[in-house]
Amino acid sequence: MLAVATLSKSFRGLRAVHAASFSVPEGSIVALIGPNGAGKTTIFNMIAGVHTPDSGEITLLDKRIDGLRPDQVCAAGIGRTFQLVKPFAGLSALDNVIVGALHKERSVAAARIHALSILKKLNLDSKAHLNASSLTLPDRKRLEVARALATRPRLLLLDEVMAGLRPTECDQIVAVFRELNRAEGLTILLIEHVMRAVMALAGQVVVLHHGEVIARGAPQEVVRDPAVLECYLGEETEV
């Protein structure tokens, strides 16, 4: 579904991503992991249209999407969340999701119905009329997801939605994504530090280090890969 080919990006000479390639097959859940500063969010932002790549290609369903604006990327079928949540603070949770739902729905009334069903899916329906600013952090993270889902994306980009959640909250939201993936065939690409979520969710893991892909494969294999262990824990030395 999504293919990233030899993608590179530098910021004022600082090489953030270098010749990164990976793909996300339709219906799969792929996790992008790596230490801080590995370039995960930069790749995300290039896919989402926030940054334009210096070189390389991004294709969604065989159409080039690199260089498009974020709203055009959304129209192409990609929904995203932000690592630092960006709720429409002055609006109710429901209105937040309606904004997303209006992307595909013709009328506000239809968007409201769709938004309510999404809120229910994420167990936010009891808080639909609360101001987004009064929600707790876990709820705000779920609201991010609800808004993105409301645009009816083919591919969902999740930027550290589990960070800061308690293990039980994390398990709940993992269950929601599994269900969306299983029942609706939603393809998911996630950046995640919480390995508990990665192991439970991802069918495939791509490991990034210093802007380069150093490993990819099933989660159980990747965590045993010496190169991966090295980048997280440092090189093994004889004492």
Partner 1 sequence: MKLLEGVPRRGAILLAALLALLIVFPMFASGYLLAVGFLILYYAYVGQAWNIMMGFAGQLSLGHSLYVGLGAYAAAALYVHFGLSPWIGLGASIALCALAGAVIGFLAFRFGVGGVYFAILTIAFAEFARIGFDHFAWVRGSSGLFLPVANYTENDLWNLRGSPRMFYYLMLALTVGAFVLCHALLRSRMGYYWLAIRESPEAAQALGVNLFRYKMVAVVLSAAMTSLAGVVFAFYYNNLFPEQIFHISRSIELILGPIIGGIGTLVGPLVGALLITGLAEGMRELMLQLGIDVPGVKQVFYGVCLLLVVMFLPEGVWPPLAKKLRLDR
Which residues are at the interface with partner 1 (CB under 8 A)?
48, 50, 69-71, 74-75, 79-80, 82, 86-91, 95, 98-100, 102-103, 108, 111, 147-148, 150-151
Token pair of 186 as six digits: 């939603």
CB nearer to partner 1: give 64 or 86: 86
DSSP states along 9-31: EEETTEEEEEEEEEEE-TT-EEE
CB of 105 to partner 1, least distance (A): 9
For residues 184-214, one letter each, b for 16 or more C-beta atoms within 10 angstroms of the residue's C-beta and e for the rest, the string is eebbbbbbbebeebbebbbebbbbbbebbbb
Using the minimum distance from each CB to partner 1, give the nearer residue, 74 or 124: 74
How near is the Cβ of 44 to partner 1 at its closest, in Å?
A: 11
Q: Report d(CA 37, CA 179) in Å as an integer.
A: 31
Q: Cβ closer to partner 1: 157 or 215?
A: 157
Neighbours of 113 (CB within 10 A): 12
Residue nearer to partner 1 on the CB measure, 99 or 229: 99
Shortest distance, CB of residue 50 to partner 1, whole angstroms? 8
- Spacing of C-alpha 52 from chain mean position: 18
- Report in angstroms how near the CB of residue 239 gets to partner 1 at its nearest: 49
